[in-house]
């Protein structure tokens, strides 16, 4: 999944929470996007591969996943105001991804993981 937002919005904190739930890091801060096989893929520049910034703790090592097909995006600079939000999408390089807005709770990582595992039902 691709997490977007300005500096200090919680991108790395969300990534660390997802790593704690068993997910793997592709990139922190700079992510390369590419089209391959009709899908959108994310990879990491070699200089920062396997590193994630944890504010107050420094640069931490995280076993990297070389690349991942993107199937979901989350915009941390957009607060979610709906209890049951409509389906939203964002487009990168001509490919559409489902988009989640920031739910503003410490359960966002768990909700994302469940979405990735099983999808979602439209209201």
Could you give all domains of the chain from N- to C-terminal order, each with its CATH number?
2-118 (3.40.50.300)
pTM: 0.93
Q: Which pLDDT value is given to residue 18?
A: 98
What's the pLDDT tens digit per position in 3-55? 999 999 999 999 999 999 999 999 998 999 999 999 999 999 999 999 999 99
What's the pLDDT tens digit per position in 41-93? 999 999 999 999 999 999 999 999 999 999 999 999 999 999 999 999 999 99
Number of residues assigned to the chain: 123
Measured distance CA(123)–CA(119) in Å, rounded: 13
How many helices and strands, by DSSP H and E, does the chain display? 2, 9
Measured distance CA(54)–CA(32) in Å, rounded: 21
Task: Give residue 105's pLDDT band: very low, low, confident or very high (50, 70, 90).
Answer: very high
Cβ-proximal residues to 93 (8 Å cutoff; 6+ apart), any chain: 33, 34, 35, 40
């Amino acid at each position: 999944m691709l997490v977007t937002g300005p500096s200090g919005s919680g991108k790395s904190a969300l990534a660390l929470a997802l790593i704690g739930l068993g997910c793997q890091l592709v990139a922190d801060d700079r992510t390369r996007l590419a089209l391959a096989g009709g899908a959108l893929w994310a990879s990491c520049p070699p200089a920062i591969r396997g590193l994630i910034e944890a504010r107050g703790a420094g640069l931490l090592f995280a076993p990297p996943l070389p690349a991942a097909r993107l199937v979901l995006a989350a915009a941390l600079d957009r607060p979610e105001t709906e209890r049951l939000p409509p389906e939203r999408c964002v487009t990168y390089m001509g490919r559409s991804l489902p988009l989640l807005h920031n739910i503003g709770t410490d359960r966002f990582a768990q909700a994302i993981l469940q979405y990735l595992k099983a999808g979602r039902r439209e209201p």
